[in-house]
Amino acid sequence: MVTTVTSYGRSGLSDWLVQRVSAVILAVYSIFMVLYLLLNPQIDFVQWSALFSGTGMRIFSLMALLSLGAHCWIGLWSVSTDYLKHFAVRFVFQMVVGLLMFIYTIWGVQLLWGL
């Protein structure tokens, strides 16, 4: 058993599962958004605003946003443990990525829910 304290869920299985579930959510969200924009080429602000004012869309978007944060954290953590061999460099990189994911998530929630 290899000990890690900076990985997303501390367990390999948990990270693996979160990575796969979040990938499916992001794929569905991306396909939905692309299809929506293709089917509504003349979209204006009113329609766009109406789309995001529905509770269902807000939940869907928040789910995609949280998935993006978790997916990035697990993926970039994995990349950092492969390629960044110096402990200090790796730790700083992981902390910066974690902080950025936190900022983007809070910022995204603020935008989505119009808080």
Q: Pattern of binders to another protein over 34-73, x per CB under 8 A?
A: ----------------------------------------
**C-beta of residue 8 within 8 angstroms of C-beta of residue 70:** yes
d(CA 59, CA 3): 35
Task: Rank residues 17 and 37 by Cβ distance to another protein and give the closer one.
Answer: 17
User: Minimum CB separation from another protein for residue 14, in Å?
Assistant: 8
Q: Is residue 4 a contact residue for another protein (CB under 8 A)?
A: yes
What single-letter amino acid sits at 92? V
Q: Is residue 13 a contact residue for another protein (CB under 8 A)?
A: yes
Cα dihedral 98, 103, 106, 111 in deg (nearest 10): -140
Q: Is residue 5 a contact residue for another protein (CB under 8 A)?
A: no
Of the candidate spans 28-36, 51-59, 78-86, 101-109, the one that interacts with another protein by CB under 8 A turns out to be 78-86
What single-letter amino acid sits at 57? M
What single-letter amino acid sits at 112? L
Of the candidate spans 35-43, 75-83, 89-97, 104-112, the one that interacts with another protein by CB under 8 A turns out to be 75-83
Phi and psi angles of residue 73, each rounded to the nearest 5 degrees, phi first? -60, -50
**C-beta of residue 102 within 8 angstroms of C-beta of residue 72:** no
Residue ranges binding another protein (CB under 8 A): 1-4, 7, 11-13, 15-17, 78, 81-83
